[in-house]
């Protein structure tokens, strides 16, 4: 059973962004698989490193599209990206007990799904106009 079931309601209608979001969710699901196997502490830091690198690529893509679309809340959105990166790096520096692994897993799920379905949804109409 997957931890996060991706569905069409999560899509923003921007193909490259939707594909990247699915990649991030896939990484979180892989992390959860290892957590359920009792190997969470072993894979937490490598998973966070993967997410850090992939999120960086994703944020570059997203921010470039928002700039091109002249999205008015660009600066605020970029701050949210920075906060996630700081939090991800902070988690990677912490000890990795089973409880902390579970908290990290929940944080990643909640942050990403919340961000995609709330914050990213705000810029989607402006960016979709670039492709109309």
- CA–CA gap between residue 118 and residue 22 (Å, rounded): 16
| 34 touches 43 (CB < 8 A) | yes
Read off the pLDDT of residues 65-88 as tens digits, 9 standing for 90 and up.
Answer: 999 999 999 999 999 999 999 999
Q: CA 110, 111, 117, 118 torsion: positive or negative? A: positive
Q: What is the pTM of this model?
A: 0.94
CATH class in words for 13-131: mainly alpha
pLDDT at 78: 97
Q: Is the pLDDT of residue 32 over 90?
A: yes
Domain ranges of the chain: 13-131
Instruction: Give residue for tokens 């570059």.
Output: 60
Q: Return the C-alpha torsion angle 129, 80, 44, 108, nearest 10.
A: -70
């Amino acid at each position: 059973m997957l931890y996060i079931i991706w569905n069409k309601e999560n899509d923003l209608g921007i193909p490259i962004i939707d594909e990247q979001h699915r990649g991030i969710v896939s990484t979180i699901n892989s992390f959860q698989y290892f957590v359920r196997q009792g190997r969470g502490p072993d894979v937490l830091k490598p998973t966070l490193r993967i997410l850090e690198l992939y999120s960086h690529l994703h944020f570059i893509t997203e921010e470039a599209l928002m700039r091109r679309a002249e999205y008015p809340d660009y600066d605020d959105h970029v701050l949210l990206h920075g906060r996630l990166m700081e939090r991800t790096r902070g988690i990677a520096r912490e000890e990795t007990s089973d409880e902390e692994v579970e908290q990290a897993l929940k944080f990643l799920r909640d942050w990403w799904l919340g961000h995609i379905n709330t914050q990213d949804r705000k810029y989607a109409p402006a960016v979709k106009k670039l492709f109309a």
